[in-house]
Structure 1
């Protein structure tokens, strides 16, 4: 008897929670060289979520992306207005207020009522500079032309749009609010489309990566090239891992190779968005089975680069693929804001699945 497939609602919660786990796992070793990680944590690097498992600005902003999109969805349903990029901009501005204040003000609504979000987790300068403006950027005026990963790390919620093309377009738009370079926003569209194909359309991971690579090529060849390189590296390392298993099983001479930080280094460090997404795709493709989820995050976190961002995107991808069943219970128990993340995730999935949820809570000012 086969296990029941997770619903879209469950996959949405899984996407956000798994991303937060990756964020938390990688946060303590961000900015560290791999050799430094090994000296601090041993030859396998960091392998367990810290206690407590604190999230970074990546997950904070992902929550506000979800709140902004759901707000746009509710307004479209009840008020016949549809401007998701504007609602997400307003949500990001609300997030900015949590970085500047000590706690909720009078009569807070939505995420602003959550005191635990009033914690500064060293957000990126490009994001802070862009959000300091009163109005969002336009096609003619871009505040920041950054290509860092600050845009892509927060756009997984766009994957729960009704269609793949809308998911891609919204992912690009949400990231471009602060990262105006094509290499800053196109990977965000690619991530959103990948999440959509996995969670909503239920494509296989390999098929979804191929489709995303073809779509993003129109907007950013760099991202498409790195995604193709990630897929090739994963195919090579998966074959080496299979050969090593066979060698052990049949008593043959040892076979070397398999998924490794060396392959990640070939793709980059993850400081710029195309590299961040490529590393996450590589980690997911080499650990696509549900039982391999913790090792996927470990691989994505243990390298010389932006460890929390690459592990967060790996979590987003595999959470969208497998749903909440993949989440280790001990990790979930220590994850900061797990209850809030789960609630937002379930509501996000409900918009896509046509299920009921408390819509009025998203009509925030």
Structure 2
């Protein structure tokens, strides 16, 4: 199953930059408030919460692990899936030597399993936390013209660390939502395709996705609705919270991300998932330039753009 590429290189580069920087900026905005309650956030930053990224802001393990996955793709996206998973597993082992930016116990434990020689098909831990979801969006870019491989790669690469069905469904949704965003689909129209590609994987995820959609169309305030969805530590809630924010603010990257991080819960992960999807749809100009300039190591992200574009076209040319 393949689809021809219909986007020009400049347009695709603009959207890739939107995804990469949209993810990292949202991650950096959420980082200082991740372990605070909403009440504590308001007490520290004012009634509207945290709204801007201070200079020299680092990102967290969310962006770090997206880059780990990106390197695996650069080394093997053109391979059949078992070969690609070998490359991703190698990068996860190498990641253990990188600075600890707050990675969860599940991802670290699975990477240690890989380091100990356990094959990637059995390295995953039965956890439904959001560590696999938060990194998979880049698959939506690389395989945007091959939805069948995209869905399989999102599922299998997610299960290298998180083998729980709820995490599996969220990984598929997270990657596929970026593909839909790159295609120009508005968040409202993503609902049915996301239900379709995750059908039968996890009833828990399906219910969370439906609940998010219904709450976004309710009369509840953002704050009231987000509290009903959850705190985002588990993958179904993480995606549901992010999807709610982009449904409410489909054309406003900044407002969607600000809404996503000002919660009691996993602010940086919810923010980065929402920011990556909207950044991919709206392009780099939607991401505040002041936020991009405030990222501590933005040159690392910039250095990936050309390489990922080349890999995307290499993979697309093989379809």
**TM-score, length of structure 2 as denominator length:** 0.89
Trace 1:117-128 onto structure 2 (pairs within 5 A): 119-128=99-108
Answering whether residue 97 of structure 2 is matched by residue 97 of structure 1, we say yes
| 2:275 corresponds to 1:295 | no
TM-aligned CA distance change 1:355 to 1:7, over 3 Å = farther
Q: State how far apart, in whole Å, the 2-side matches of 1:266 and 1:163 are.
A: 36
Q: How does 1:4-153 map to 2 (within 5 A)?
A: 7-73=11-77, 76=79, 83-98=83-98, 119-133=99-113, 134=115, 135=117, 137=119, 139=121, 141-153=122-134
Q: Output the CA distance in 1 between the equivalents of 2:119 and 2:237.
A: 25
Larger displacement relative to structure 2 (180-189 or 280-289): 180-189
| Match status 1:236 vs 2:196 | no
What secondary structure is seen at the aligned counterpart in 1 of 2:241?
A: helix
Matched, 1:340 2:300: yes
What is the match of residue 107 of structure 1?
none
Partner of 1:265: 227
In structure 1, C-alpha distance between the alignment counterparts of 2:305 and 2:237, rounded to whole Å: 26
2:5 aligned partner? none
Matched-pair contact (CA < 8 Å) for 2:166–2:205: yes
Query: For 1:223-271, what per-residue CA distance to the aligned partner results, in whole angstroms no more than 9, with x for missing partners?
Result: 122111111111225xxxxxxxxxxxxxxxxxxx54x121111111000
Between the aligned partners of 2:315 and 2:104, the Cα distance in structure 1 is 36
Q: Show CA shifts across 1:136-186 (max 9, x none).
A: 5455x3541111011111111111213122212211112211111111222
Contact 2:81–2:153 (CA under 8 A) maintained in structure 1 = no
In the comparison of the two structures, how many residue pairs are matched?
Answer: 305
> 1:196/1:323 Cα in 2 relative to 1: closer, same or farther (>3 Å)?
same
Give 1:49 deviation, angstroms.
0.9
User: What is aligned with 2:184?
Assistant: 202
Whichever of the two has the greater Rg, that structure is 1
CA contact (8 A) 2:111 2:123 kept: no
> Once structures 1 and 2 are overlaid, which stretch shifts more, 4-13 or 81-90?
4-13
In structure 1, the partner of 2:164 is 181
Counterpart CA distance in 2 for 1:313 and 1:171 is: 14
Change (3 A) 1:147 1:82: closer
Contact 1:6 1:322 (C-alpha < 8 Å) held by counterparts: no
Compared CA separation, residues 81 and 294, structure 1 to 2 (3 A): closer
Measured against aligned partners, the alpha-carbon deviations of 1:192-215 in whole angstroms (never above 9, x if no partner) come to 01111221x332322223201222
Aligned to 2:270: 310
Shift >6 Å, 4+ stretches: none
- Larger mean CA deviation between 177-186 and 272-281 belongs to 177-186
Aligned to 2:140: 159
Equivalent position SS for 1:49: coil
Match of 2:194 among 212, 220, 233: 212
CA RMSD of aligned residues (A): 2.2
SS in 1 for 2:97: helix
The CA distance in 1 between the partners of 2:33 and 2:313, in whole Å, is 37
**8 Å Cα contact 1:9/1:347 also seen in 2:** no
Indicate how the Cα distance of structure 1 residues 130 and 5 shifts in structure 2: closer, same or farther if over 3 A, else same.
Answer: closer
Structure-2 separation of matches of 1:165 and 1:136: 27
Query: What TM-score does the superposition give when structure 1 sets the normalisation length?
Result: 0.78
Name the structure 1 match of 2:280. 320
Q: Which runs of 5+ in 1 are unaligned?
A: 99-118, 238-256, 357-365
Q: Tell me if structure 2 keeps the 8 A contact 1:9–1:353.
A: no
